[in-house]
Every structure is written in C-alpha cells, then in structure tokens.
Amino acid sequence: MSPNLAQLHPYPFQKLRQLFADVEPNVARQHINLSIGEPKHPTPQLIKDALVANFDGLAAYPATQGSEQLRAAIGRWAKRRYDLALDPATEILPVNGSREALFAFAQAVIDTSVKQKPVVLSPNPFYQIYEGAALLAGAEPYYVNCTAPARFQPEWDAVPDDVWARTQLVFVCSPGNPTGAVASLADWQKLFDLSDRHGFVIASDECYSEIYSGAEKPLGGLEAAARLGRDFTNLVMFSSLSKRSNVPGLRSGFVAGDARLMAQFLLYRTYHGCAMSPTIQAASAVAWDDEVHVEDNRREYAAKFEAVTPRLQSVLDVVLPDASFYLWAKVPCDDAEFARRLYAQEHVTVLPGSFLAREAHGTNPGAGYVRIALVASQSECLEAADRIVRFVQSL
C-alpha cells in the first residue's frame, strides 16, 4: 500500500463520532444535526423529471469530456453569472462533483520529479480534501491561517519565500468553508501576482457561490481575472450543483479555466475512469439552465439566517457570513467541549472548529469556534438556536 495513506488524518465527522462515543444525549428532545454541510431543501422537480426522461442514457458509455449539451449549458451559466465567454470545447470539463475533481486535480498537477518536495498551500481552516489530495500526490501541505483580523482571508504575506519557491498548487475557497468569507478583487490581485512570480497553479473552489444574501454576488476567480484584464493562465475554478440545486447525490459539477491545464486534466481523467453518466449529464444541463429554483433556494437560506442569527448573537460572537450556509460562531469555552456538552444537554450537533483546521504557526485558527450549518428546515434551525441559547446561558 502507498505509504502516503498513513499520513491521512481522520475526517472531521469521524472525530465527531469519537467525541460523542460515550455521550448519552437528552433523548427527550429530537436530534437536530447542524454539523454536516449537506443540503436538505427538496430537489427541484425539473431535475427529477430530466433524470426520468433520460434513462436511455444508461445504455451508453459516457465520454470523459462530457456532452456538448452539458458543456454548452455550463457555458451559458458562466456567461449569465460572471459575464465570461468560456470555450465549451477547451475550457469546460464536467466532473462528478467538485470533491472528486479537487482531489484528482492535485494528482494531475503535482510534479514529484523536482529536487525539493513540492508544496500545496491551502487555507486554514479548510475543506479536508485539499490536505488529502496534497498528501496522496506526494506533496507537503502548507496551511495559511485565516483569522478574524484578516477578514478570514488567507494571510499570504506570512508565507516564507522558500515555501513559495516550492509551491506548485494553491487551493482557494471563496465563499469559504467554514467561515463564509468572500475574497475581494484586491485579494485575487495579490494571489495572481504571487502566481505570476512563482509559477504555481490556483485551484478555486467555488461550490458555495450561489448561496448568498443581498444583491452583491460573490466574486469568482475567473471573473476576477477577467476584471483585471488577465487571461486564465494557471487558474481553474471548481463549481457544483450540490448546494446550488440541492442535489448532493447527483454528484455533478465542472472545472473551467486555463485551456492548457484542462487538456492535461482531461488526459488524466481519460485514464481515471470517471466520466459522468449521460443520464446525469442531461439532468445537469437542465439544472444549469434554470435560475428560478436557485433564487428560491437562496431566499430560503436568507430567511433562516435572518431568523436565527439575531437569536444566537444574544449569547455568541457571530455575524452573518458573506455567503455559504454556515455560521462561524465563537464560543465561550473549548470548542470540542462546547459541542460535546451541547449534544448531551440539548441533542443538537454542531462541528468543532478545531476539527476543521490544523495547528499551524503556533495556533489552530479553528479553535474556539463551531460551525453551524443552517441546512435543516427553518423551524428546526430556530428550535436549535433556542436550545443553543439556553445551553450557553447555563454555562
């Protein structure tokens, strides 16, 4: 077996199960799980109908590059959403969800033949796939802390020059998981300048881009490049239908950007054996072409944030995120102990922030926070908020 497997950390939810292993929750209260970022809103009927109408696709082998129909639909969405004129033939590649593609992309990009061990940078806290992808590609993960004083943006200026010199890939997550923070145009400019100087690839994870409040849409990586008059050299974005369209089980997303990188990634995927089912592709095209269900979804999340956040603010240090469906709440004690006691006393599950980060540069930037995913119904989220308030008041 690969020795790199021994470097993998337990997943946050495995740690959570271990944390709760000997806890007897208050079964007089129904369990409300706000720990997992799994959309619970109903899947739109038009997507279900498209699946049923395209069952014949199960009788054909899919093309790794995906159908022209799907790539064209994604291109139309990118034009509507970001005013980007992407070439569906060379700059768009359908994938089986952003998680699969983020992992695979690192395997295709990292060059281990160099003299010094390659480095993969990621934000900290982070989506653990970034770390696992780096380790299994034979690279060294380097964690760039994201803290409140820095608007929860990666502190790129703190990265030493000798680390930049070995960096081959940088993962960016905007809107961020778990903080919901969105990178500004100035943030992107700084990262682009560093990429130009050091030659690394930027992988922009944007799977939460469609969950936001207000009129200002989160800025995307390719969009930022276009606004700054740049091409897409060494830049790709990852997007997904899971959060946007409430179809996490569909496993459908795309990668778009630098045509040179896309051609090499397509070659890798041809051997990887990860082509998307034609049935899923047909339903995905329908989903990308429709915005009505996305607007409805966004309004439902906004209503939950508007109702829940003020209640929690009475006892916790928490603000509305720029985007995403998470609240990143500072708690008055150890975050793991907070989650454990909340589960025992109120039968509400939240995720300790320290489980989503690594000790780096003398601190764990997730420590002292919990991630609260407002994915349940509004009534459940309000009930959970009231229980959390009662719990904190009892401390």
Burial 225-263 (b: 16+ CB within 10 A, else e): bbeeebebbbbbbbbbbbbbbbbbebbbbbbbbbbebbe
Question: At 295, phi and psi to the nearest 5?
Answer: -65, -40
pLDDT tens figures, 120-160: 999 999 999 999 999 999 999 999 999 999 999 999 999 99
Please state, in angstroms and rounded to a whole number, the distance separating the CA atoms of residues 34 and 50: 31
Q: What angle do CA 130, 132, 136 make, to 5 degrees?
A: 120
Percent of the chain scoring above 90 in pLDDT: 98
Do the domain assignments include residue 240? yes
Do the domain assignments include residue 49? no
Identify the band that residue 52 occupies on the pLDDT scale cut at 50, 70 and 90. Answer: very high
Torsion, Cα of 381, 387, 393, 395 (10° steps):
-110
Torsion, Cα of 16, 131, 97, 295 (10° steps):
70
pLDDT tens figures, 33-44: 999 999 999 999
Do the domain assignments include residue 48? no
Same domain, yes or no, for 224 and 372? no
pLDDT at 214: 81
Please state, in angstroms and rounded to a whole number, the distance separating the CA atoms of residues 239 and 256: 9
Please state, in angstroms and rounded to a whole number, the distance separating the CA atoms of residues 351 and 170: 25
pLDDT tens figures, 271-309: 998 999 999 999 999 999 999 999 999 999 999 999 999
Torsion, Cα of 169, 172, 173, 175 (10° steps):
-160
Mean pLDDT of 77-90: 98
Please state, in angstroms and rounded to a whole number, the distance separating the CA atoms of residues 378 and 34: 12
Same domain, yes or no, for 283 and 250? yes
Please state, in angstroms and rounded to a whole number, the distance separating the CA atoms of residues 107 and 248: 24
Do the domain assignments include residue 54? no
Same domain, yes or no, for 122 and 247? yes
Range of the domain at 329: 3-42+293-394
Please state, in angstroms and rounded to a whole number, the distance separating the CA atoms of residues 318 and 313: 6
Last residue of a domain, one of 290, 308, 333: 290
Last residue of a domain, one of 258, 290, 322: 290
Do the domain assignments include residue 29? yes
Same domain, yes or no, for 27 and 111? no
Per the CB < 8 A criterion, the answer to whether 363 and 135 are in contact is no
Last residue of a domain, one of 290, 307, 331: 290
CATH number, domain with residue 20? 3.90.1150.10
Same domain, yes or no, for 243 and 330? no
Same domain, yes or no, for 316 and 272? no
Element at 314 (helix H, strand E): none
Same domain, yes or no, for 271 and 381? no
Q: What angle do CA 300, 301, 303 make, to 5 degrees?
A: 65
Asked if pLDDT for residue 215 goes beyond 80, the answer is: no
- Number of domains into which the chain is organized: 2
Rg of the chain's alpha carbons, rounded to an integer? 21
- Cis amide prior to 248 (ω within 30 degrees): no
> Where are the strands (E) in 125-200, listed by range?
140-145, 167-173
Give the list of residues 6+ apart from residue 346 with CB closer than 8 angstroms, or none: 26, 29, 387, 388, 390, 391
Please state, in angstroms and rounded to a whole number, the distance separating the CA atoms of residues 241 and 251: 8
Q: DSSP class of residue 116?
A: S
Same domain, yes or no, for 273 and 302? no
CATH number, domain with residue 200? 3.40.640.10
Give the list of residues 6+ apart from residue 45 with CB closer than 8 angstroms, or none: none
SS3 186: helix
Same domain, yes or no, for 105 and 140? yes
Same domain, yes or no, for 259 and 144? yes
Please state, in angstroms and rounded to a whole number, the distance separating the CA atoms of residues 190 and 337: 38
Per the CB < 8 A criterion, the answer to whether 241 and 294 are in contact is no
**pTM value > 0.85:** yes
Per the CB < 8 A criterion, the answer to whether 358 and 364 are in contact is yes
Do the domain assignments include residue 51? no
Please state, in angstroms and rounded to a whole number, the distance separating the CA atoms of residues 80 and 315: 41
Tokens of 359: 């000790």
